[in-house]
A and B are shown apart, each in its own frame.
Chain A
Amino acid sequence: MNRVPADHDDIERLLAEHLRRQAEALNVELLLSRIRGTMAVEPEVSAKATVTPSLTLQAPRRLRLFGKILAWTGGTVAIFALAFAFLFGGRPEPLRAATPQELLQEAQKTHHLPLDRCYLVEFQREVDANEEPSPMAVASRTTRLWTRGDRFWIEGNHPRFRFAWGRDENGIIWISPGPKRGVRIDPEEAPRWLTMNCDISELRPEHLLNELLRDFDLTREAGSSPAVQVIRAELKPGRWTPALRSAVVELDTETKALRRVVLRRQPSGGRTVTTTYTLVETATQNDDRYRLEGHLVDPFEIYSTENQPQRRRDVLTLLFGPRGVDWIKPVPK
């Protein structure tokens, strides 16, 4: 092994090299487009405007410590205020924002809280009258989705079998056809269609709201009652999002959370899929529920790229027919 001469500068040089290599290997075109998209919607402030550097930009640690003390005392005051409000009949401040953008920004703040939410999800796919019916491609189905940030799990409700599947915090896609065995697909093994399918299946409110604010024309619509605020979003001309064409978002006036979301997607060249998410429950779920292990009972076996890859293919074929093997993309060794 070639050894690198050691002194302080060498460690920093190695680290700088390491960061440079990683940066060179990174494709940031999508992020660049995202930044440009945001800037097109929210252009730069005028030089004449009074500029107060943001706290995040310049907040030193001492200020953060001071901020912590303030936050602690403020938090205590807030707890008393909330308790007072609760005891004396106060209600959460309802949405007062007027524009659809402001409404979605309010919802963003609400969904920033790391809560587990359960949505009833209904998929509806346009069906061609001449299309040969396939047991795998049902025109509509309803499932329950638990989601927290980028992770989710779904209790599958396929007419032929029941199974759970999901994506954990590391991007690993898993399927549990029963309590004794499971299949794990690493992110680099997942073909693009499967990743897209996961994106379509889960609801990531923060990402979705960002996307809507950035790339969509927003209009308010009359809600069924004052408790509901309805916003329609149509893709701006010239903008591109992964298959999302339009959305209708219903916000709860009191809680400011997404109550119902209807997304119309059209994967490239595919049929239009309408996905309706209806919030049915907000609760705290164990982290394990988002992982394969959380759906298995000891003793169990997990088939993965390291453990019995052939058995993994067999299980996928058993579940999804001959095309089951398409669930795994060969990874170059």
Chain B
Amino acid sequence: MPESQKNAVDDWVRATLAPAVVFARSLLRDKSQAEDVVHDCFCRLLKRADIYDLPNDGTKLLYRSITNACINRTQRARPTIGLADGEMGDRPLDRLANEKSVSPVESAQVSELESALEMGLAKLSVMQRAAIQLKSLGHSMDEIADTLGLTANNAGVIVHRARQTLATELAPYLAK
């Protein structure tokens, strides 16, 4: 692979790694499992770096790969209790510590809103979480349907239901 292409792939990995971990973590509700999935998915794609155009097409392939791997894991895993709360790593306190440009009151509001979002996401099924997050990341309904192996109509229903659940959870923060 030429050096310039290698650099472009490396930049792509750097740019997509953290969002990919966040996405996987949200689906699995477990940090170390999410990192394992992301590691495996990146490695699978990187092994085919001379076949795929990763800087241009890689992100969609990556999210599709992560989504399927996470859904497979959640279907395979035994149910456990309490994973949703403890493993997320960046709790409101951490996030507040990272807020530099907003006032303490605004920070508190952002933190509340994010907690509400987390609560809402935790109430969704893994398919709904994947669908609504892919939608928020700019994937089209056809792409979401393709990733989840559904028809576009079914994907639309899943996104709609996820959106409704989130809207209920975020109701105190949303204008009527």
Contact A62 B174 (CB under 8 A): no
Question: In the complex the two chains form, is B80's CB within 8 Å of A59's CB?
Answer: no
Q: A4-B175, A61-B149 are in contact. Are A332 and B80 (CB under 8 A)?
A: no
- A333 — which chain B residues lie within 8 A by C-beta? 93
Q: Which one of B17, B42, B51, B81 contacts A47 once the chains associate, using CB atoms below 8 Å?
A: B51
> Is the Cβ of B68 less than 8 Å from the Cβ of A56?
yes
What residues on B are CB-neighbors of A171 within 8 Å? 86-87
For B38, B136, B170, the residue with the greatest tally of chain A CB atoms inside 10 Å of its CB is: B136
A35-B46 in contact given A10-B174, A21-B95, A51-B51 (Cβ < 8 Å): yes
B98 at the binding interface (Cβ < 8 Å): yes
A19 touches B68 (CB 8 A): no
A4-B175, A44-B50, A170-B87 known; A35+B43 contact, CB < 8 A: yes
Give per-residue flags for A12-47: 1 if the beta carbon is below 8 A from chain B beta carbons, else 0: 111110111111111010011011001100111111
Interchain pairs with CB closer than 8 A, number:
170
* A58:B64 contact, CB within 8 angstroms: yes
Count A interface residues, CB 8 Å.
59
User: Are B114's CB and A21's CB within 8 A?
Assistant: yes
Other-chain residue from A19, A35, A60 in contact with B39 (beta carbon distance below 8 A): A35
Shortest CB-to-CB span from A161 to chain B, Å, is 28
Residue from the list A8, A54, A59 in contact with B44, Cβ < 8 A: A54
Residues of A within 8 A of B (CB): 1-6, 8, 10-16, 18-26, 28, 31-32, 34-35, 38-39, 42-47, 51, 54, 56-64, 114, 150, 169-172, 187-188, 287, 331-333
Interface residues of B (CB under 8 A from A): 1, 13-14, 17-19, 21-23, 26, 32, 35, 38-39, 41-51, 61, 64-65, 68-69, 71-72, 77-78, 80-83, 85-87, 89-91, 93-95, 97-98, 109, 113-114, 117, 132-133, 135-138, 146-150, 163, 166-167, 170, 172-176
